């Protein structure tokens, strides 16, 4: 069943008006799927991740529906969401290294958190220890304060905590951004391992690093300025992208074997629109080399091939 | 832990040495001479006064060169001898101070501790209840910005002078001698209330604001957000935030407790309350070197001991400091 998001609109309320951070986002993530969510800074990927679990002011829910395993998720209701949080939807936050209370031992923290969800710490302890082994943390960490762990160890501890109750959906928000490449690889392997062992069913892996997604993601969704641009299996996104933004994004990745002293690395000219008062229609039209009259209307996010969705008038 | 405490002890000993040296020096930098004051109070004939003057100078050893006085001072100090007061000649300084200190403790210990407890609780509540925040915050800022002396005067004037509910001077009525009876205790508390209230209110404002700001900061911290996104109940998050917000408040409390032997100078003067603060005022007015030195010595010792204790408590409460000092 997995996750289905329909026409989700979430705005930030600011003094100068609404910032339209998510504008009619529609997509689904299948059971066992690791969906990479890519896009440049400010395109709304973290806002999307947050709104699925922790939609708090200044974020404002405008409209849209979210279904998890066929059941509607009340993302607009902070209180009712507590039934879903941790048990069914969980998150590894961007700030995972600082996510633990500095004055509480990690074991006690886990016990407190589990007690709040009516789960007995002693019962789950053997499983917890197995998972610590899996991420190569000694059982000692349960008796330690976060300060006694390195940043990488803290992050692994948070990964174990967040997935302890086998959630249906895990949101991994920029978890590799602050890591060196070898740790990045280890973290990515753990995410895949968690999925393979059934600790989590579906995963949304938010990052701006497409090369990482190539290694772990089953599908990649590309966002642009608060809208879904394209979603397709990883190979399709990298080999045959359909949306002009995705094409230019992929083309601007450095390639092995090319000497960039002779050939300059290409970027995408221009800048994303201001989300306070974005132009009507496709938000990429201002930078798009193939834009035409139709682009002032918002393009629908349609399936052009099985599993390949694009929001572009040229591709329909 | 042992090495850490040893290091701290060394630093505190050095601080003590320099503080005491300054303490000895400061009264001697005042213009004038205590013996002149003492002799002039006796209203003697000029020739007798001159003889008495030289006698007292010798008795107080004020005729010796400064370095000699300084060494003698340390020698006497190490024997526990704080000298004789000039203002209340010939009472020993130590006795005067020991007589005054119970009043300081009686006045300040409840004021500091009760305002700390109440301020922390109310501040923590204000951090999450909007109407409380809107009323406590401005009130707290007004209270904490109020000079002790000014609030004391207002209370003395309104509740003491105009309403006549409370006495405005002394620690007990002039007609009674201190003894153990209900009448005396009632009288003591009746006199104690206004100075206590003036101190309590000002301190309360400071604690409440400090706690409110710390709690808000902690509730915005990453660990609070993580717990919230994992559906932890607000009670748990507040519990964590409260404990972490307490750390700076504990330091503040310890520093306050360290200074209570100094009394509350302004308050004690307004209400003529016979604590150390009142002694300090009299010592300055009468150029009483020895009494002034003695009072300051008590303050220095109090502050240092309080700081030392807080170093230990902090290490027990905060694992970050504990790890730091065991070198793990």
User: What is the separation of C-alpha A219 from the centre of its chain, rounded to a whole number of angstroms?
Assistant: 12
Closest CA to B115 of B249, B1, B244, B280: B249
| A260 and A295 share one domain | yes
CA pair distance A185, A194, nearest whole angstrom:
14
Q: Which residues contact A280 (CB under 8 A, 6 or more apart)?
A: A296, A297, A298
- Whether residues A91 and B222 touch (CB distance < 8 A) is answered with no
| A12 and A127 share one domain | no
| A177 and A159 share one domain | no
Which pLDDT does position A262 carry in this prediction?
65
| A228 and A296 share one domain | yes
Nearest-CA distance A101 → chain B (Å) = 5
| A295 and A259 share one domain | yes
Nearest to B320 among A91, A102, A117 (CB): A102
Cβ-count burial A96-135 (b if 16+ within 10 Å, e if not): bbbbbbebbbbbebbbbbbebbebebeebbeebeebbebb
CATH at A40? 3.40.50.300
> What is the token pair recorded at B299?
């303050």
> What is the token pair recorded at B159?
């509740």
| A135 and A11 share one domain | no
| A204 and A55 share one domain | yes
Domain of residue A69: give its range.
Answer: 3-88+169-315
Give chain A's contact residues with B (Cβ, < 8 Å). Answer: 53-54, 56, 81-87, 90-91, 93, 95, 98-105, 112-113, 116-117, 145, 147-148, 158, 161-162
> What is the token pair recorded at A207?
């990052």
| A136 and A14 share one domain | no
| A186 and A69 share one domain | yes
Query: Count of A–B CB contacts within 8 Å?
Result: 75
Q: B211 and B119 in contact (C-beta within 8 Å)?
A: yes
Which pLDDT does position B328 carry in this prediction?
39
Last residue of a domain, one of A166, A181, A216: A166
Task: Determine phi and psi for B179, rounding to 5 degrees.
Answer: -155, 170
| A71 and A102 share one domain | no
| ipTM for the whole complex | 0.91
Question: Which chain B residues are within 8 Å of A93, Cβ to Cβ?
Answer: 222, 225-226, 229
Block means of pLDDT (10 residues each) for chain B, length 328 residues? Answer: 80 92 85 75 76 79 82 85 79 87 88 94 88 88 88 89 84 77 86 91 92 91 93 91 88 78 78 87 84 87 84 75 57
Nearest CA in chain A to B321: A147
Question: Which chain B residues are within 8 Å of A81, Cβ to Cβ?
Answer: 231
Last residue of a domain, one of A133, A166, A199: A166
Nearest CA in chain A to B218: A101
| B contact test, residue of A56, A58, A86, A99 with most B CBs within 10 A | A99
CA pair distance B71, B271, nearest whole angstrom:
38
Contact of B71 with chain A, judged by CB distance below 8 Å, is answered with no
CA pair distance A315, A292, nearest whole angstrom:
13
| A contact test, residue of B214, B229, B240 with most A CBs within 10 A | B229
- Whether residues B228 and A54 touch (CB distance < 8 A) is answered with yes
CA pair distance A143, A128, nearest whole angstrom:
13
Query: CB atoms < 10 A from the CB of A256, how many?
Result: 4
- Whether residues B222 and A95 touch (CB distance < 8 A) is answered with yes
Q: Which residues contact A154 (CB under 8 A, 6 or more apart)?
A: A96, A97, A98, A99, A100, A146
Number of domains in chain A: 2
Q: B170 and B191 in contact (C-beta within 8 Å)?
A: yes
Q: A44 and A225 in contact (C-beta within 8 Å)?
A: yes
Q: Which domains does chain B have, with CATH numbers?
A: 2-78 (no CATH), 93-319 (1.10.3720.10)
Which pLDDT does position B323 carry in this prediction?
63
| A306 and A215 share one domain | yes
Question: Which chain A residues are within 8 Å of B243, Cβ to Cβ?
Answer: 103
Closest CA to B111 of B260, B247, B246, B249: B260
Contact of B223 with chain A, judged by CB distance below 8 Å, is answered with yes
Q: pLDDT under 50 in chain A at which residues?
A: none
Question: Which chain B residues are within 8 Å of A99, Cβ to Cβ?
Answer: 222-223, 225-226
Cβ-count burial B227-258 (b if 16+ within 10 Å, e if not): bbbbbbbeebbbebbbebbbbebbbbbbebbb
Tell whether the torsion through CA atoms of A126, A130, A135 and A141 is positive or negative: positive
User: What is the separation of C-alpha B310 from the centre of its chain, rounded to a whole number of angstroms?
Assistant: 16
Tell me the per-residue pLDDT of A258-290, one tens digit each, with 9 for 90 and over.
666 666 777 888 888 888 888 888 999 989 989
Tell me the per-residue pLDDT of A143-190, one tens digit each, with 9 for 90 and over.
999 988 988 899 999 999 999 999 999 999 999 887 888 888 889 999
Which pLDDT does position B14 carry in this prediction?
93
A181-196 vs A151-162: helix axis angle to the nearest 10? 20
Nearest to A113 among B230, B244, B328 (CB): B230
Question: Which chain A residues are within 8 Å of B240, Cβ to Cβ?
Answer: 101, 103-104
Nearest to B230 among A83, A86, A102 (CB): A86
| A202 and A308 share one domain | yes
Which pLDDT does position B324 carry in this prediction?
61
Last residue of a domain, one of A144, A166, A188: A166
């Amino acid at each position: 069943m997995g996750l289905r998001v329909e026409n989700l609109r979430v705005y930030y309320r600011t003094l100068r008006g609404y910032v339209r951070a998510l504008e009619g986002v529609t997509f689904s993530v299948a059971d066992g799927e690791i969906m990479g969510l890519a896009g440049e800074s400010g395109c709304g990927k973290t806002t999307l991740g947050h709104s699925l679990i922790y939609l708090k002011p200044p974020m404002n829910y405008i409209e849209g529906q979210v279904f998890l395993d066929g059941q509607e998720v009340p993302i607009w209701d902070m209180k009712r969401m507590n039934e879903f949080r941790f048990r069914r939807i969980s998150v590894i936050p961007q700030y995972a290294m600082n996510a633990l209370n500095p004055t509480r031992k990690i074991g006690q923290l886990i016990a407190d958190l589990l007690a709040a969800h009516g789960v007995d710490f002693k019962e789950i302890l053997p499983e917890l220890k197995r998972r610590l082994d899996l991420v190569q943390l000694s059982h000692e960490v349960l008796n330690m304060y976060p300060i006694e762990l390195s940043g990488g160890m803290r992050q692994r501890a948070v990964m174990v905590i967040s997935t302890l109750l086998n959630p249906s959906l895990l949101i991994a928000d920029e978890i590799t951004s602050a890591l060196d490449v070898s740790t990045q690889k280890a973290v990515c392997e753990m995410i895949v391992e968690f999925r393979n062992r059934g600790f989590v069913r579906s995963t949304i892996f938010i990052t701006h690093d497409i090369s990482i997604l190539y290694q772990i993601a089953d599908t990649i969704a590309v966002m642009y300025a608060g809208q879904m641009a394209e979603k397709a299996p990883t190979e399709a996104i990298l080999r045959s992208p359909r949306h002009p933004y995705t094409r230019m994004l992929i083309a601007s990745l450095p390639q092995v074997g090319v000497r960039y002293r002779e050939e300059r690395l290409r970027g995408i000219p221009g800048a994303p629109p201001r989300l306070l008062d974005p132009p009507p229609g496709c938000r990429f039209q201002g930078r798009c080399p193939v834009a035409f009259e139709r682009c002032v209307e918002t393009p629908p996010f349609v399936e052009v091939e099985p599993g390949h969705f694009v929001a572009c008038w040229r591709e329909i | 832990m042992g090495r850490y405490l040893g290091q701290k002890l060394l630093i505190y000993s050095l601080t003590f040495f320099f503080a005491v040296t300054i303490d000895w020096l400061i009264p001697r930098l005042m213009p004038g001479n205590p013996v002149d004051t003492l002799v002039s109070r006796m209203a003697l004939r000029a020739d007798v006064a001159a003889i008495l003057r030289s006698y007292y100078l010798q008795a107080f050893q004020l005729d010796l060169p400064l370095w000699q006085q300084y060494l003698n001072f340390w020698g006497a100090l190490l024997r526990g001898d704080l000298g004789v007061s000039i203002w209340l000649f010939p009472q020993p300084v130590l006795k005067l101070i020991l007589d005054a200190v119970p009043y300081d403790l009686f006045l300040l210990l409840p004021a500091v501790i009760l305002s700390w407890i109440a301020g922390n609780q109310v501040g923590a509540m204000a951090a999450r209840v909007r109407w409380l925040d809107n009323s406590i915050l401005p009130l707290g800022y007004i209270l904490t910005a109020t000079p002790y002396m000014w609030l004391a005067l207002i209370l003395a004037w309104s509740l003491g002078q105009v309403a006549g509910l409370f006495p405005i001077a002394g620690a007990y009525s002039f007609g009674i001698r201190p003894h153990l009876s209900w009448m005396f205790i009632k009288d003591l508390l009746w006199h104690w209330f206004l100075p206590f209230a003036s101190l309590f209110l000002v301190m309360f404002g400071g604690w409440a604001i400090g706690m409110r700001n710390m709690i808000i900061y902690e509730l915005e911290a990453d660990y609070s957000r993580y717990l919230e996104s994992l559906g932890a109940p607000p009670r748990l998050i507040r519990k964590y935030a409260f404990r972490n917000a307490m750390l700076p408040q504990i330091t503040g409390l310890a520093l306050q407790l360290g200074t209570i032997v100094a009394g509350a100078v302004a308050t004690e003067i307004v209400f003529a309350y016979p604590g150390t603060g009142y002694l300090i005022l009299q010592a300055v007015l009468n150029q009483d070197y020895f009494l002034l030195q003695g009072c300051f010595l008590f303050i220095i010792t109090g502050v240092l001991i309080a700081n030392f204790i807080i170093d230990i408590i902090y290490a027990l409460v905060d694992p970050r400091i504990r790890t730091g000092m065991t070198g793990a």
